[in-house]
Amino acid sequence: MPKLVLPNNVLLPEVCGLLRQGLRVELMTRGNSMLPFIVGDRDSVVLVQTPAVGVGDIVLAQIHPGHFVLHRVRSIEDGVVTLQGDGNLRGTENCRIEDVCGTAVRILKPRREVDCNDARFRRRARRWMALPYIVRRYYLAIYRRLI
């Protein structure tokens, strides 16, 4: 099956529109910002629009006009959502709660599916983000060379 690659500024606004209509969208990921949980150009995510977004959710959000990210929610305060990719050691992004387009409910890997609401998956993600900076840095450096 041929692969069609569209620029994010064309594709992702349409994805947000589909999510607002209540549809489920499967989206192939790109980039390494969500390593080790989501591998770009290999894993896909299934997104839905949810009534509430919580800390620990993986969301597709518009952080400024035309620029979208698929990152984990670190905190929510006064309608401002702070996002950080699992593979980002320090950088965070902020957006308003209404700029969150959808929430990942499944990660589709080559040989299995991961339920994003599974308690074990959420515990692993919390433990990963709680690791000291230096441990995550070296783990990611090795992991990126292996994949």
**For residue 15, what are the domain limits?**
8-146
Which band of pLDDT confidence, cut at 50, 70 and 90, is reported for residue 4?
A: confident
The CA distance from 46 to 108, in Å, is: 8
Domain membership flag for residue 1: no
In order of 14, 43, 49, 70, 75, the CA distances from 92 in angstroms are 25, 22, 22, 12, 11
pLDDT in tens, 18-47: 999 999 999 999 999 999 999 999 999 999
The CA distance from 118 to 133, in Å, is: 25
Domain membership flag for residue 3: no
Share of the chain above pLDDT 70, in %: 99
Mean pLDDT, range 100-109, rounded to an integer: 98
Say which amino acid occupies 119: A
The CA distance from 133 to 89, in Å, is: 7
* 112: CATH: 2.10.109.10
Task: Indicate the number of domains in the chain.
Answer: 1
Domain membership flag for residue 63: yes
Q: Omega into 36 within 30° of 0, i.e. cis?
A: yes
